[in-house]
Amino acid sequence: MSEGQNAMSSGKSSSGVHFYGQLYVGYDDTETGQAADIERLDDGGGKSRLGLKMTESLGNGLQLIGNLEYKFDPVDGTQNDAGDCTSTSESTSCRTFNLHVGNLGFKTAMGYIGVGTFESPYKTMGKFDNNMDTAVAMNAHGATSTGDGGQAGTLESMLAYHGHIGPFEVGYMYALSDKDSDNSADRTNTDQGDYALGIQIKNMMIPGLTVGYARTHDHEVTGSDAKAENNNKVFASMKVLPHVGMFLTMENIKQSGSYIAGSTSNGDITTLGTHYQLGHTAIQAVYAVGNSDGANTEDYKTLGMSASMHLSKTSDITFGYIKQDFDSTGSDITTRSIGLTHKF
């Protein structure tokens, strides 16, 4: 997301606070198996954002950098589709704003180091979906992993490093909060020992080629057979023609809720897609296969396509279709959507 055009000066030429945001309104129709369609006019995925970025020069090439960003739904005022207004949980309360990222750290000659809530390297590296956080998002239909340990990952209470070394880009995060016997004392979505890492290489071997690897590690897993669980992703993308790019991801999913939302099943997801720029219209097409480690009823294929037409430098309208087709059941998920976005 680009920074806003308006900035409030902090009084120093080398420092500043910048306000930015994004508004999204979508109308979508979702069919699940034989159940009645669900039609919505809202921003249930939280693509709309309000944020602040701050920088302060500390001298000798050292900068203090902060970022605070919230998700919200500008249509119905409730970020999550839930009815329990007394709940304190992000997933079940009817709050208007949900924290997306909030962090503070230092930018040095060796890279960035900071603490707070960040998007995981598992999400930011090898992220190819132009429709993230909308009704036709790939991770909502099995075309990639989902949840905090997957492609939707935002991790709380993390010590983070991010840097570049030649053609290499490296990201690493480690959880600092430790949950005790009183779970209410720690409301973060991580526990001490959890980590996420990512590394990608751009234009090293072939111009236009990016390859990389990412992992999220869940250190403390409950249950009688509790043991650490990892999600692993290998990805690649390449610009094959002036206006055409291809991308590939291969994921091995072991964390609960990452293969299929709300399910404890594990599996592998292989995704192949393309981006094509046709004038002012960006076209995305994707095909994915999910192979469950468990029941065959959780094997599936996903096919999706979208077209995003730029109305201006800051606004676009997107038409999308995606279907998750389960091989052995009738519980397929099909979504059609039209959405309008404005960045500021």
Two structure tokens written together for 309:
């037409």
Domain residue limits at 183:
14-343
Per-residue confidence (pLDDT) for residue 89, from 0 to 100: 60
Mind listing the pLDDT tens digit of every residue in the chain (344 residues)? 433 333 333 334 457 999 999 999 999 999 988 788 899 998 878 899 999 999 999 999 899 999 999 999 888 777 665 555 555 565 556 677 889 999 999 999 999 999 999 999 999 999 999 999 999 999 999 999 998 889 888 999 999 999 999 899 999 999 998 765 445 555 678 888 899 999 999 988 888 999 999 999 998 665 444 567 899 999 999 999 999 999 999 999 999 889 988 777 899 999 999 999 999 999 999 999 999 988 788 899 999 999 999 999 999 999 999 999 997 776 899 999 999 999 99
CATH code for position 152: 2.40.160.10
| Burial zone of 48 (CB within 10 Å; 0-12 exposed, 13-18 middle, 19+ buried) | buried
> Which amino acid is present at 135?
A
Q: Would 5 be classed as within a structural domain?
A: no
Conformation bin of residue 262: beta by default, left when phi > 0, alpha when psi is -120 to 50: left
Residues comprising the chain, all counted: 344
Per-residue confidence (pLDDT) for residue 5, from 0 to 100: 37
Per-residue confidence (pLDDT) for residue 11, from 0 to 100: 36
* Total number of domains constituting the chain: 1
| Burial zone of 31 (CB within 10 Å; 0-12 exposed, 13-18 middle, 19+ buried) | middle
Q: Is the pTM of the predicted complex or chain greater than 0.95? A: no
3-class secondary-structure state, position 151: coil
> Which amino acid is present at 217?
H
**Which of 279, 275, 283, 268 lies closest to 245 in space, CA to CA?**
275
Q: Would 7 be classed as within a structural domain?
A: no
Q: Would 2 be classed as within a structural domain?
A: no
Q: Would 1 be classed as within a structural domain?
A: no
Q: Would 174 be classed as within a structural domain?
A: yes
Instruction: Count helices and strands (H / E) in the chain.
Output: 1, 18
| Burial zone of 113 (CB within 10 Å; 0-12 exposed, 13-18 middle, 19+ buried) | middle
Q: Would 141 be classed as within a structural domain?
A: yes
| Burial zone of 54 (CB within 10 Å; 0-12 exposed, 13-18 middle, 19+ buried) | middle
Please report, to the nearest 10 degrees, the dihedral formed by the alpha carbons of residues 143, 149, 154, 159 taken in order: -140
Q: Would 29 be classed as within a structural domain?
A: yes
Please report, to the nearest 10 degrees, the dihedral formed by the alpha carbons of residues 31, 36, 40, 45 taken in order: -50
Per-residue confidence (pLDDT) for residue 179, from 0 to 100: 63
- Distance of alpha carbon 141 from alpha carbon 214, whole angstroms: 21
Inter-residue contact 160 to 212 (CB < 8 Å): no
Q: Would 6 be classed as within a structural domain?
A: no
Neighbours of 167 (CB within 10 A): 12
Inter-residue contact 194 to 217 (CB < 8 Å): yes
- Distance of alpha carbon 37 from alpha carbon 41, whole angstroms: 13
